Amino acid sequence: MMLYWIVIAILGVIHLHAVLLLAPFDVPIFLTIGLVLAIVFFIHKKIILTKLAIGSHWHVLLFFIQVLIISLYFFKAPLSVYFMPFTLFIILEIVRFQFSKQVDMLTRDIETFASEREQMNETFRVVRAERHDFLKHISALHYMLENSNETEAKSYLDHLVDGYEETNLSIKGERGTVAAILQHMYKRAKDLGIEIVYDLDVPLSSLSLSDQELTSLLGNLLANSIESCEEWQSHRKRQPLITVHFYKRSGLFILVCKNNSLPIPSEVLDHLFVKYGKTTKTGKHEGLGTKIIDDIVKSHDGLLDFVHKNEQFLIKIKIPAIN
């Protein structure tokens, strides 16, 4: 990506300096360079451009076209014509950006779909395995009770219920995609030693969101919580907790997610659900999840509020209950 911005800066200097030849006075080249660098830096900060996803052959073609456009400056023509190459340069880069953005979005959708399918298959496999072994467990319990091994039977049953609880919490009353994401995140949290509690008065599938929106909302919400808890656990050496509450009150569906979190700088909190690129996590994170959550909530006339206090991060989402 850095190479892209360097090339854009070089092309920008060439085009802008050619256009500034129209000025009634000479403009030093260093002023042109400074102006272009300032513009490129501003665009770089304003535009979320993690990668140009259109493929190297398209980039080579567009670069070749840009070189051809620059060659127009070597032909004798009225200075006023120099605006045309400069305009073409800007249009080509807008096309490159928009095309890359669309390709990147499609790629992300395909990856999300593949992940959802894998999660649904895993949930289905777990349910099938539990159903397949159910009669075996009943037979084992029956044998223990027949032989008056009540203590052993109780211990066996407690262990069995704990295993079934994980699946039951995720699938009861939920659509397949929602059950899959809940099951996947529950297992992911448990594998990391994070306690996670689903307290759902009504199924999350009751929300008037499409499968894609609901999966994206829950996936980003829970993934952010798990990653935040993982960092907190690494620093505090204690077991973190995630709680998810979902209920209906006065014509509103209310989703509350609470998790442990390390201190978050004020400049991040102020723009957390407002801009792309803002994240509570350290390391290489794009900061896309929080803005995606906010966009989905707002698209359904919902409200999002969050509080960070005493190393606890709480998000409350309210969405109108529309049949």
* DSSP H helices in the chain: 2-19, 29-46, 56-71, 83-146, 150-171, 176-191, 211-236, 266-269, 289-299
Domains annotated on the chain, with CATH:
2-107 (no CATH), 191-323 (3.30.565.10)
- The pLDDT, as a whole number, for residue 50 is 47
Over the chain (323 residues), the average pLDDT of each successive run of 10 is: 75 79 76 84 64 68 81 67 79 80 75 68 62 63 71 70 54 72 86 90 88 86 93 93 92 94 82 54 52 88 91 93 72
Chain centroid to CA 141: how far?
45
- The pLDDT, as a whole number, for residue 162 is 59
Q: Copy the structure tokens of residue 88.
A: 């073409």
Instruction: Give the three-state DSSP class for 97.
Output: helix
Q: How far apart are CA 103 and CA 97, in angstroms?
A: 10
Partner residues linked to 257 by β-bridges? 244, 315
Burial class of 139 by CB neighbour count within 10 A (0 to 12, 13 to 18, 19+): exposed
Instruction: Give the three-state DSSP class for 197.
Output: strand
Q: Copy the structure tokens of residue 150.
A: 């009540």
H or E segment to which residue 305 belongs = strand 303-309
Q: How far apart are CA 168 and CA 69, in angstroms?
A: 63
Amino acid (1-letter code) at residue 27: V
Torsion from C-alpha of 276, 282, 284, 286, nearest 10 degrees: -10
Tell me phi and psi for residue 305, to 5 degrees.
-135, 150
- The pLDDT, as a whole number, for residue 151 is 78
Strands 195-200 and 241-249 come out as parallel
First-to-last C-alpha distance (Å) of the chain? 46
- The pLDDT, as a whole number, for residue 47 is 62
For helices 176-191 and 211-236, angle between their N-to-C axes, nearest 10 degrees? 10
